[in-house]
Structure 1
Amino acid sequence: MLQSFPLSTDRNGLFDITEAVVEAIGKSGITDGLVLVSVPHSTASVTVVSPWDVLGLEDVHDEIVRIVPTRIDFKHQYDTPQDAAGHVKAAIVGHSRTFFIEKGKIGLGHSQKIYFWEFDGPRKRTVEVKVVGQ
């Protein structure tokens, strides 16, 4: 069962979507299987980060910005330099993540949460969740 939910970002950075994914698993009725979390956008990603220190989230975001800074010498400049940098960042981080579900619980560690990662915000976005199994 594919479930989609809207997400409006107010900036670039990480947005916790863990509860929405857990809710989608619950709605599916599947207790053992897999859940795929995907973003159908070329300037956004899905990742897993520890939420316990908010500054850690900033560090993660700051490092991807350091690795792929917004600049004007990208070969493709369809929209803006931020858009071009967002394409590269999203390609590096990835557009989906898969997690196992066992006994109705998602396979995340106690210090892990699922984040939507915005590279070209603010934007209106969609997150898609596909739950498969028994």
Structure 2
Amino acid sequence: MLKEFTIQTPSEGFVTITKQVAQIVEQCHGEKRLCHVFVPHTTAGVTINENADPDVVKDMLLALNHMVPDLAYQHGEGNSPAHVKASLVGSSVSVPIVNGTLYLGTWQGIYFCEFDGPRQRKFCVNIL
């Protein structure tokens, strides 16, 4: 089962998508499967991290901005830092499905990572 979602993103930041992904998993009624989340953009990504303390995602963005400074990039659109951050984070994550639910840790959530917004973006959830 493949489902595509559209979301509105901020100029830069992390948007939790755990609930949308979990809803698709619940529709499949599978005991043991795999959930794959993919972001089809070159200046955005997806990651799994703590979802209990909002300061964690703020710190992640702070660290990425520190690791990817504004340099004399050659790409003419002016969004090279966003491309680098998206490559560092990655464009997909996979989560096991156990007993019909996402097998995430107690504090884990799935985040859409925007590095070149605000934009209307897409992500896909595929249950394998």
**TM-score normalised per structure 2:** 0.95
Secondary structure of 1:90's aligned partner: helix
Secondary structure of 2:63's aligned partner: helix
1:14 corresponding residue in structure 2: 14
1:29 corresponding residue in structure 2: 29
Q: How far apart, in 1, do the equivalents of 2:88 and 2:10 lie?
A: 22
Verify the 8 A CA contact 2:10 2:114 in the aligned structure 1. Answer: no
Unmatched runs of 5 consecutive residues or more in structure 2: none
Verify the 8 A CA contact 1:38 1:97 in the aligned structure 2. Answer: yes
Q: How far apart, in 2, do the equivalents of 1:118 and 1:104 lie?
A: 29
Give the deviation of 1:30 after TM superposition: 2.3
2:63 corresponding residue in structure 1: 63
Could you list the runs of 4 or more consecutive aligned residues of structure 1 that deviate by over 3 angstroms after TM superposition?
none
**TM-score normalised per structure 1:** 0.91
Q: Percent identity?
A: 35
Secondary structure of 1:86's aligned partner: helix
Q: How far apart, in 2, do the equivalents of 1:116 and 1:46 lie?
A: 5
Give the deviation of 1:24 after TM superposition: 0.9
Q: Does 1:94 pair with 2:90?
A: yes
Verify the 8 A CA contact 1:30 1:131 in the aligned structure 2. Answer: no
Aligned length: 128
Unmatched runs of 5 consecutive residues or more in structure 1: none
Verify the 8 A CA contact 1:25 1:131 in the aligned structure 2. Answer: yes
Counterparts of 1:1-134 in structure 2 under 5 Å?
A: 1-69=1-69, 71-77=70-76, 79-80=77-78, 83-132=79-128
Give the deviation of 1:54 after TM superposition: 1.3
